[in-house]
Structure 1
Amino acid sequence: MHCEEAIASYRERAHDMLEPGSLSGMRLGVYQHSSVAAELLVQVLRSLGASVVAVGKTGTFVPVDTEAVDAATIAKLKKWVREFGLDAIVSTDADADRPLIADENGDLLRGDLVGLATALFLKADTIVTPVTSNSGISKALGFAVQRTKVGSPFVIEAMEALHGAGGVIVGFEANGGVLLGSDCVVNGKTLTALPTRDSFLPILAVLSTMASTKKKLSRLRGLWNLPVCASDRLQNFPAESSRRLMDHLASRNALQHFLASFGTVAEIDETDGLRARMLSGEIIHLRPSGNAPELRCYSEASTESRAMAIVASTLQGAHAFALTDEIEDL
């Protein structure tokens, strides 16, 4: 298939998801940067009735990490929503397989919540998602939930294993990447399975939910009543340093000492990295990146400030451990 044909096919797929004019009355920003979907996303949203303001287009590569958005990017998003009076601002990473969505205040909607909104939009029967996704996404929301290691190959493998069971299968990751594991009916039309990360489906699902419920995006979070999550990373953190830290924390006593400021460790999950649930219910998850010299940390708590503080403190502890370890090697 030629490039033009592929784009036309993808555009038609996006149009089939929503009724014409379904986004009428919405004022949306599209943060274009160096995304390969910069123009197509604007075109699709306008064709569905939205008033669109394109912002931030660049001629050089911009490394947007949808799971660890830097402070400078967040500041831009907040500036744009105020400047242009936006209901939401949407974007993708550079190769356009992961979405980035911010509400009317410029606050980001985490990728796992984007995935949840998509699953609800598609009336999913089963969700497949890594252990790093919000622990509140459970059977209580009406889905069967299967957890995997981090990475789309693991999500795809689990979706394929479930394919014979029937029903609508939706996979997603904490970075916002959504994968459709089965055919489903949307807007009276069949949306065929697409078991690869797709940014337009979750963007349109979230915007459609806003339009149909007539709720601001900031209000939708409250409907799900989930724990608050935060995540960040230590960049340029050698794989050997990650290995030594994880080996050290394999001891329950060492882990308890490392996390002592957060209380008592109640449960440990080693599906991918080290995920500790504290007696308080808070979660701290450390995981070496599989494709970069980085150590990632995820947390869950009752408030955003607490979740962010847990991540910051844990990464500080990891950095201090690595420095001490290096000194001992001298």
Structure 2
Amino acid sequence: MSQTSSLKFGTSGLRGLVSDLVGAPSRTYAGAFLKHLAASGRAPRAVLVGRDLRSSSPRIAADCARAARALGIEAIDCGALPTPALAGEAIKRGLPAIMVTGSHIPDDRNGLKFYAATGEITKADEAGILAAHAALEPGFGEDADETGTGTEGSPWSGEAGEAARAAYLARNIAFFADRALSGLRVGVYQHSSVARDLLVEVLEGLGASVEALGRADRFVPVDTEAHRPEDRALIAQWTRDGRFDAVVSSDGDADRPLMADASGAILRGDVLGLLTARFLGAAVVATPVTSASAIERVMGAAGARVSRTRVGSPFVLEAMEAALAQGASPVVGFEANGGVLLGSDVALDGRRLQALPTRDAFLPILAALALVAREEKPLARIVEELGAGFTAADRLQEVPATESAPFLTRLAQEEGFARRFFEGGPAITGHDTLDGVRVLFDDGSVVHYRASGNAPELRCYVEAPSQDAANTRLAWGLKAAQNALKGR
């Protein structure tokens, strides 16, 4: 990778500009992933390749297939399908998988997500892939057979993708009781999500009355955490006349949910995760430190234990695996973006849902709607009764690690600096440094700073006694950090 390349690689995969990704970079990283599996005793006979609906994904999927063939490995086309559907099929077949997706980032960018036969790759896998990539000969895969381009009409048929989609559909309908959502009116914001048709099918299969909304013929970068003003405006417009009990959607590859109540208020991702964990009767919940601290109180009241992690699905997976090793079940993980990871099988009313240790957008959407139907209460009331607290979050962009790291170090280690930094506010009662610096105050509020793992950004997360207080505290937190970074 050149010094000027936009490509960034981590446990969540490879991302960057399409212009930097197509061709050799896609082939070499896909090849490095497969060579690493072989070197670690997991040599695959085949690899599943799936993709989202952005314009560059078929070309990049073809690059990944060429890399596999260069190593004598069969590439099985799964076409366009949700990431959790591809991951589930990979686990079922005992095969690795590569998902071509940039998730929620714009169409001029794309990425690759790598899955071992057991699920998401680990931090150890990440290091192994980088080592294998460094050892690849220049020009890897250039001479590989080009049969199967991943384009319309190619012999790369995608029959495996149909099987994966059918299995994912059946998985969701079978677990939630027949007609479980009967009587609910649900709007599905389709945009360019790869799950846009499957989500309609699942909801209708469970008895909901569904209206498809906002279908796009070009890629729309819907972010389920940092909601775009245009998405908020659309949801407000659709819910204005009160015809829906909820409006639901997902990001581009359907591993993160988006859900709004009847008034158009968008639910926080950690609230969706909390509702799901409660619905499933989780014994252990694994979630990052960026999820609200109210989770301990809510799940503790249900007799569950909460395991806090650093930000990122690999850390959530590690915590879930540790809980399983101790004999806990059911084990549920979720991130602040709402993606739910199911660490163990779950039994409910005689029905069983198999473990799926990767982020899934469908499970939290369906669990929340099932609670609405079962409790016969509006979604807004269910959320209010949950008591998940009030939060706000934002970021300072263009803050490189060389600037954010010294600031975080001083905040964590210099008591005088921290006291002056938060002067005039509530008294500090403690802090933790699991991921960034999370400062606790005597009024129950929290201010948490951490550097982004995949962008030059300093993120700020706030909890407060009211939403207005959270918004005010966030605005202060961003301004104070900006001044500190500038030495003021």
Give the TM-score, by structure 1 length.
0.93
- After TM superposition, the structure 1 = structure 2 runs for residues 115-126 of structure 1, keeping only pairs within 5 Å, are 115-126=273-284
* 1:187 Cα deviation after fit: 4.3
Equivalent residue for 2:255?
A: 97
Letter of the structure 2 residue corresponding to residue 222 of structure 1: E
* 1:209 Cα deviation after fit: 0.3
* More divergent stretch after superposition (134-143 vs 235-244): 235-244
1:260 aligned counterpart, secondary structure: coil
* 1:47 Cα deviation after fit: 1.5
Structure with the larger RCO, 1 or 2 (CA within 8 Å, 6+ apart): 1
Letter of the structure 1 residue corresponding to residue 278 of structure 2: L
Letter of the structure 2 residue corresponding to residue 229 of structure 1: T
- Output the CA distance in 2 between the equivalents of 1:317 and 1:115: 31
* More divergent stretch after superposition (140-149 vs 153-162): 140-149
- Output the CA distance in 2 between the equivalents of 1:302 and 1:286: 19
Letter of the structure 2 residue corresponding to residue 75 of structure 1: A
* More divergent stretch after superposition (206-215 vs 188-197): 188-197
- Against the structure 1 CA distance between its residues 166 and 249, is the aligned structure 2 distance closer, same or farther, given a 3 Å change threshold? closer
Report if the CA contact (8 A) 1:34-1:62 is conserved: yes
Instruction: Select which of 90, 110, 114 maps to 2:272.
Output: 114
Equivalent residue for 1:304?
A: 467
Equivalent residue for 1:289?
A: 452
- Output the CA distance in 2 between the equivalents of 1:311 and 1:129: 22
Report if the CA contact (8 A) 2:175-2:352 is conserved: no
- Output the CA distance in 1 between the equivalents of 2:195 and 2:173: 15
**Sequence identity of aligned pairs in percent?**
48
* 1:198 Cα deviation after fit: 0.7
Report if the CA contact (8 A) 1:230-1:311 is conserved: yes
- After TM superposition, the structure 1 = structure 2 runs for residues 217-236 of structure 1, keeping only pairs within 5 Å, are 217-236=379-398
Equivalent residue for 1:161?
A: 322
Report if the CA contact (8 A) 2:287-2:316 is conserved: yes
* 1:75 Cα deviation after fit: 2.3
Instruction: Select which of 410, 431, 451 maps to 1:248.
Output: 410
Letter of the structure 2 residue corresponding to residue 127 of structure 1: V
- Against the structure 1 CA distance between its residues 315 and 141, is the aligned structure 2 distance closer, same or farther, given a 3 Å change threshold? farther
Instruction: Select which of 419, 442, 452 maps to 1:279.
Output: 442
Do residues 77 (structure 1) and 235 (structure 2) align?
A: yes
- Against the structure 1 CA distance between its residues 59 and 318, is the aligned structure 2 distance closer, same or farther, given a 3 Å change threshold? farther
Instruction: Select which of 126, 129, 132 maps to 2:287.
Output: 129
Letter of the structure 1 residue corresponding to residue 295 of structure 2: I
Do residues 238 (structure 1) and 396 (structure 2) align?
A: no
- Output the CA distance in 2 between the equivalents of 1:296 and 1:141: 32
Report if the CA contact (8 A) 2:221-2:251 is conserved: yes
Report if the CA contact (8 A) 2:437-2:450 is conserved: yes
* 1:289 Cα deviation after fit: 0.9
**What's the CA shift string for 1:22-42, capped at 9, x where partnerless?**
212111111112211111111
Report if the CA contact (8 A) 1:18-1:187 is conserved: no
Equivalent residue for 1:209?
A: 371
1:67 aligned counterpart, secondary structure: coil
* More divergent stretch after superposition (310-319 vs 206-215): 310-319
- Output the CA distance in 2 between the equivalents of 1:197 and 1:115: 11
Do residues 49 (structure 1) and 207 (structure 2) align?
A: yes
**What's the CA shift string for 1:65-124, capped at 9, x where partnerless?**
322223332222111111462111111111110111111111111111111111111111
2:363 aligned counterpart, secondary structure: helix
Letter of the structure 2 residue corresponding to residue 67 of structure 1: E
Structure 1 or 2, whichever has the larger Rg, is: 2
Letter of the structure 2 residue corresponding to residue 253 of structure 1: G
- Against the structure 1 CA distance between its residues 236 and 72, is the aligned structure 2 distance closer, same or farther, given a 3 Å change threshold? farther
- After TM superposition, the structure 1 = structure 2 runs for residues 175-214 of structure 1, keeping only pairs within 5 Å, are 175-214=337-376
* 1:183 Cα deviation after fit: 0.7
* More divergent stretch after superposition (64-73 vs 38-47): 64-73
- Output the CA distance in 2 between the equivalents of 1:228 and 1:142: 23
Letter of the structure 2 residue corresponding to residue 149 of structure 1: R
Report if the CA contact (8 A) 2:341-2:357 is conserved: yes
- Output the CA distance in 2 between the equivalents of 1:288 and 1:199: 26
* 1:161 Cα deviation after fit: 1.3
Give the TM-score, by structure 2 length.
0.64
**Gaps in structure 1 of 5+ consecutive residues:** none
Do residues 27 (structure 1) and 185 (structure 2) align?
A: yes
1:215 aligned counterpart, secondary structure: coil
Instruction: Report the aligned-residue RMSD.
Output: 1.7
- Output the CA distance in 1 between the equivalents of 2:184 and 2:484: 49
Letter of the structure 2 residue corresponding to residue 66 of structure 1: T
- Output the CA distance in 2 between the equivalents of 1:72 and 1:258: 36
- Against the structure 1 CA distance between its residues 32 and 259, is the aligned structure 2 distance closer, same or farther, given a 3 Å change threshold? farther
2:213 aligned counterpart, secondary structure: strand
Equivalent residue for 1:14?
A: 172
- Output the CA distance in 2 between the equivalents of 1:65 and 1:312: 21
Report if the CA contact (8 A) 1:30-1:54 is conserved: yes
- Output the CA distance in 1 between the equivalents of 2:216 and 2:398: 26
List structure 1 runs of 4+ shifted beyond 3 angstroms.
none
